[in-house]
Amino acid sequence: MKRLALVAAVALFALPAVAQSRQTQSAIRGSGTYGTAGCGLGSLAFGNTPGAVQIFAATTNGLFGTQTFGITTGTSNCGPGLFAIGTKNFVEANREALAKDISRGAGEAIGALTVINACEDSSRVGAALQKNFGAIFPSDQVSNDDVTKVILETLHGDATLGCGRG
Amino acid sequence: MTSVAALLVFLTAAAGTADASATPTSTPTATATPLDLGALVARARALHLADDPGWLRLGKWRRTLLGGRESQVDGREFFLAKDGKHDPAAELEATLAGFLDGRPRATELDDPACRFPARLLFLGERLGFDRSRLPPRACPKLDDYLDRVRPKGVTFVFSSYYLNNPASAFGHTLLRLDKTGEARTGKDAELLDYGVDYAATVDTGNALLYAAKGLLGFFKGEFKHYAYYYKVRQYGDYESRDLLEYELELSPGEVALLAAHVWEMGGTFLRYWYLDENCSYHVLAAIEAAAPRLDLLRYVGPRVVLPSETVQALFRNPGLVRAVHYRPSIRTQFEARVRGLDRAEAALVERLESEPGASLPAGLAPDRQAAVLDAAVDLLDLRNARALLMGKDPAAALRRQALLVRRAALPVQSPPLAIADRPELRPENGHRTLRLGAGGGVAREAGAFTQVDLRLALHDLGDPPEGYPPFAQIEFVPLRLRLYTDDRRVELDDVSIVEVTSLSPVNRFDLRPSWRMRAGATTVRDAGCDRCVAGAAELGGGFTAARLLGALDLLALAETELLYSPRLSGTDGRGVRAGLGPSAIARVRAGTAATFLAEARWRWYPAAAPESGYQLTAGVRLHAGRNLSLALEGRRTPEDDEVSATVFGYF
């Protein structure tokens, strides 16, 4: 089971580095920014707004990007490279929903983190994260990097959760 | 994973493609002899491969009016042959030549074997060559993409109607490339799957230009892929749209071909047409390209393609949809949470949303406290989605944090929310989108008449209810013509270019207003002119109360209207008449068998003669199944009273 989860994690680790993705000469061009989507009419562009709105811009940038498997070199300073990038990407795009699910100790975001980090049981993961909510989200202003760091510490620092080792 | 290995894996999978007309693939000879371009071209010609639907669909070649072919793809890099856009045979042969050409290229995408993996799968399978016999080359970007998506299954996703944005009014469709064969077994991984859709790249912030460019094909349409969780956040949380996920039954070869086809499409662009070649059209076209055994596009359009129609097209292929899953929006989730609370608890939810520190009753058990707090956070998110996401409301963010901290302090893990599936909301269960009606009636003054009713799309408050949102009316070119028998006069009773009515039932948690608008023309039925046809624009806002006494929906509006006709005696005697006044609509639905609908409107026409006017209509629609209705209606205006009966068919 653990090996299967690890294989799944390997398959999933190549999630695109999103909000900071450069406008690469990518195989498949994504262009323009992307707001609340209609039936394909993209809608009025947000322009270069910073912050959480990049969640939308990310859907058009760096999609078929040139991210190579250099991700294993652990460019993130959050911890074990493999799980770090996946968790970081997920936190960036799902921060609000993730905070909610962690406060509840359950939810789809918990399940996704379980898969990303190759843990054994999303229910135990949920309980562990819920207990540590205060450290993960000490305020509403905490950075995504810090959130990711504490999540990774919580998951990979607790052997009973059976999360993969980076 | 090297490109050779990746494509070999694909070819092996593709060998399982359910294509009855596949020629037996020749087994590679013991010595890997290099392929001969001439022999391959000759074999392709003998098999008429360039006319094969599999080939034509991959390149999106369609028949033109003059009998030739033209590809819908507009990017030049998509064609290797000089006139590839109009000549699928030349394009096929140029592709083969490109595959066999082993010279190094400047960039990966200059190499046809890297740019066109779907063509490689198709041609390789039909002409009996495999990847190993082509000159070796590396395709790192393609490999990266394939490794990231790694689909084992495909799910078609429909997001429900969202009337607050005209572009979303009819819904949206996209594909999800599932990493597990059975979507539900990989339940927690669904958010990490990749979504694919076709969308216009919008380069203007001006609403009028946006509409014009969208309708006239001046936007570039591109295929994009992204992590599915973006879409869930965007549709489910931010826009409160339910998602319906239709798992498709496709063979491994077809799934592989779809992934490869999306790659090919992603490298180019098409002209985006809001009405017909829009997002839902191209999503369907992509499925058809990956599985030529399916016929999907013939069931939609041709002039207008609606997302709900594309869902219906799926079901015209028996067995294509293997399972349907309902992913409720945050609004739906919130309503479900509230139903699980008693009155006192619901009142607490309301309080907590604005006062996170409000104290909870001492006797309230921890799991009930958790339920109340969960609902309060959902309510806060519902009310502040946009502001929270844009970081525009720091106070709301602080309140949210306070609620989350409070919830996390309870050592209770929330149980999964049980939300009943709503099959009545599924578009495949809806009436067809084109409506035609024929009937007749009699008016007190004008005499007997026959009438013909046409509506291009989509749904009004009185149509058979299944498959459509209960509180939305969206009509595209509804038209009613009459022939009065006595004086053989043809009259345009009413027509609209578009008519939208959006009802938002109010409850203690939701006070959003309802609104209605339309632009069209109508026959004036008061003393302002003698039954002249006037251009009309109307706009109104108000409130809706739904399910009163169980079955009554009531909408009360304040409306403004503008009529124009040279023959109209309007404001200050001119041809334009402004009107202002209240309207009310009442509806009672008797299950799916009948709908009673009544409307009353009164208008004040300042500085015009007459000074006021009114219209009362009342009727019943009896539904025989989903695609047939009988309407009995009565109408009273200052000029005349009438009754009519019409039979409606939906096509």
The pLDDT tens digits of the residues spanning B611-632 come to 999 999 999 999 999 999 999 9
Residues 6 or more apart whose CB falls under 8 angstroms from that of B211 comprise B166
Q: What residues pair up with A85 in beta bridges, in sequence order?
A: none
Cα distance between residue B32 and residue A130, in whole Å: 60
Q: Are residues A49 and A78 in the same domain?
A: no
Candidates A26, A34, A41, partner chain B, best to mutate (most B CBs within 10 A): A41
Q: Provide the pLDDT for residue B188.
A: 56
> Total structural domains in chain A?
2
Output the CA angle B107-B113-B117, nearest 5 degrees: 120
The pLDDT tens digits of the residues spanning B347-368 come to 999 999 999 999 999 899 999 9
Say if B374 falls within a structural domain.
yes
Cα distance between residue A129 and residue A135, in whole Å: 9
The pLDDT tens digits of the residues spanning B27-51 come to 444 445 678 899 999 999 999 999 9
**Position B327 pLDDT exceeds 80:** yes
Say if A30 falls within a structural domain.
yes
DSSP state of B131: G
Q: Provide the pLDDT for residue B305.
A: 82
- Tell me the HSE value of A142 on the side-chain side, using a 13 A CA sphere: 21
What residues make up the domain containing A129? 2-11+72-161
Report strand pairing: B194-201 vs B641-650.
unpaired
Q: Provide the pLDDT for residue B207.
A: 66
Q: What residues pair up with B502 in beta bridges, in sequence order?
A: B472, B515
Secondary structure string (H, E, C) spanning chain A: CHHHHHHHHHHHCCCCCCCCCCCCCCCCCCCCCCCCCCCCCCCCCCCCCCHHHHHHHCCCCCCCCCCCHHHHHCCCCCCCHHHHHHHHHHHHHHHHHHHHHHHHCCCHHHHHHHHHCCCCCHHHHHHHHHHCHHHHCCCCCCCHHHHHHHHHHHHHCCHHHCCCCC
Reading the block at residue A56, the tokens are 């939308």
Output the CA angle B276-B279-B280, nearest 5 degrees: 75
Cα distance between residue B75 and residue B268, in whole Å: 5
Residues 6 or more apart whose CB falls under 8 angstroms from that of B66 comprise none
Q: Are residues B351 and B437 in the same domain?
A: no
Residue ranges of alpha helices (H) inside B37-138 are 37-46, 53-59, 88-100, 112-115, 117-127
Cα distance between residue B127 and residue B121, in whole Å: 10
> Total structural domains in chain B?
4
Q: Which helix (H) or strand (E) holds B4?
A: helix B3-14
Say if B51 falls within a structural domain.
yes
How far off is chain B from A134, nearest CA to CA, in Å?
7
Say if A166 falls within a structural domain.
no
Q: Are residues A55 and A103 in the same domain?
A: no
Find out whether B369 and B393 touch, Cβ atoms under 8 Å.
Answer: no
The pLDDT tens digits of the residues spanning B57-82 come to 999 999 988 889 999 999 899 999 99
Report strand pairing: B641-650 vs B435-443.
antiparallel
ipTM of the complex: 0.74
Report strand pairing: B321-327 vs B472-484.
unpaired
**Position B88 pLDDT exceeds 60:** yes
Mean pLDDT of all residues in chain B? 87
Q: Are residues A61 and A78 in the same domain?
A: no
- Quick one: pLDDT band at residue B409, thresholds 50, 70, 90? very high
**DSSP reduced 3-state for B435:** strand
For residue B338, report the phi and psi dihedrals to the nearest 5 degrees.
-65, -35
Q: Are residues A77 and A154 in the same domain?
A: yes
- Quick one: pLDDT band at residue B382, thresholds 50, 70, 90? confident
- Quick one: pLDDT band at residue B491, thresholds 50, 70, 90? very high
- Quick one: pLDDT band at residue B102, thresholds 50, 70, 90? confident
Say if A59 falls within a structural domain.
yes
Report strand pairing: B194-201 vs B472-484.
unpaired
Residue ranges of alpha helices (H) inside B341-421 are 343-354, 366-390, 394-408
Query: What proportion of chain B, given as a percentage, has pLDDT over 90?
Result: 55
- Quick one: pLDDT band at residue B551, thresholds 50, 70, 90? confident
Residues of A numbered 61-100 whose beta carbons fall under 8 angstroms of chain B's beta carbons: which are they?
Answer: 63-69, 89-90, 93-94, 96-97, 99-100
Give the residue-averaged pLDDT of B203-232.
76
Give the residue-averaged pLDDT of B314-321.
95
Residue ranges of alpha helices (H) inside B103-206 are 112-115, 117-127, 140-149
The letter for the amino acid at A121 is: D
Say if A115 falls within a structural domain.
yes
Q: Are residues A6 and A84 in the same domain?
A: yes
pLDDT in tens, chain A (166 residues): 444 444 433 333 322 222 222 222 222 222 222 222 223 322 222 333 333 333 333 333 333 332 222 222 222 223 345 678 788 878 887 888 899 999 999 998 998 888 888 888 899 999 999 999 999 999 988 998 999 999 999 998 998 988 875 4
Cα distance between residue B388 and residue B391, in whole Å: 5
**Position B100 pLDDT exceeds 80:** yes
List CB contacts (< 8 A) between B405 and chain A: 103, 133-134, 137
Q: Are residues B610 and B483 in the same domain?
A: yes
Q: Are residues B86 and B235 in the same domain?
A: no
Q: Are residues B212 and B135 in the same domain?
A: no
Whether B203 and A37 lie within 8 Å, measured CB to CB: no
Give the residue-averaged pLDDT of B473-484.
92
Give the residue-averaged pLDDT of B388-396.
84
Say if B513 falls within a structural domain.
yes
Give the residue-averaged pLDDT of B448-453.
96
Residues of B numbered 325-344 whose beta carbons fall under 8 angstroms of chain A's beta carbons: which are they?
Answer: none
State whether residue B402 sits within 8 Å of chain A by CB.
no
Q: Are residues B465 and B526 in the same domain?
A: yes
Nearest one of B574, B597, B600 to B587, comparing CA atoms:
B597
**Position B436 pLDDT exceeds 60:** yes
C-alpha gyration radius of chain A: 16
Nearest one of B405, B407, B329, B334 to B368, comparing CA atoms:
B407
Between B180-184, B213-217, B233-237, B490-494, the lowest mean confidence (pLDDT) is in: B180-184
List CB contacts (< 8 A) between A138 and chain B: none
The pLDDT tens digits of the residues spanning B256-300 come to 999 999 999 988 888 887 767 788 899 999 999 999 999 999 988
Say if B421 falls within a structural domain.
no
Q: What residues pair up with B618 in beta bridges, in sequence order?
A: B598, B634
The pLDDT tens digits of the residues spanning B3-28 come to 444 554 555 444 444 333 333 344 44
**DSSP reduced 3-state for A164:** coil
Give the residue-averaged pLDDT of B329-343.
91
Nearest one of B397, B342, B424 to B375, comparing CA atoms:
B342
Q: Provide the pLDDT for residue B122.
A: 96
Q: Provide the pLDDT for residue A38.
A: 29
What residues make up the domain containing B45? 3-143
Name the residue among A8, A44, A97 with its Cβ closest to that of B210. A44
Q: Could you give the dihedral angle defined by the CA atoms of residues B54, B56, B58 and B61, in that order, rounded to the nearest 10 degrees?
A: -160
How far off is chain A from B272, nearest CA to CA, in Å?
9
Q: Provide the pLDDT for residue B181.
A: 64
Q: Provide the pLDDT for residue B16.
A: 42
Sheet of B194-201: strands edge to edge? B270-272, B219-227, B194-201, B172-178, B153-159, B243-248, B321-327
Q: Are residues A38 and A95 in the same domain?
A: no
Say if A27 falls within a structural domain.
yes
The length of chain B is: 651
Q: Provide the pLDDT for residue A165.
A: 55
Reading the block at residue B411, the tokens are 């050592």
List CB contacts (< 8 A) between B209 and chain A: none
